[in-house]
Amino acid sequence: DGKPASFEDPVVLIGAVEHYEPRCRHCHEVRNRPNKF
């Protein structure tokens, strides 16, 4: 769906080479991330 994964989503990735998208730390998004991180 093109949306960033939620913090609570399971870590599952098949075919990582096709799905890798480099992001700078300012552009990286993590939905529902707790504030302590």
Supply the pLDDT for residue 35: 78
For the entire predicted model, the pTM comes to 0.30
Helix (H, G, I), strand (E, B) or coil at 25: coil
Supply the pLDDT for residue 20: 67
Beta bridge partners of 6: 31
Supply the pLDDT for residue 22: 73
Supply the pLDDT for residue 17: 67
In tens digits, the chain (37 residues) has pLDDT values of: 788 888 888 877 776 666 667 778 787 778 788 877 5
If we measure between CA atoms, which residue out of 9, 13, 6, 11 comes closest to residue 31?
A: 6
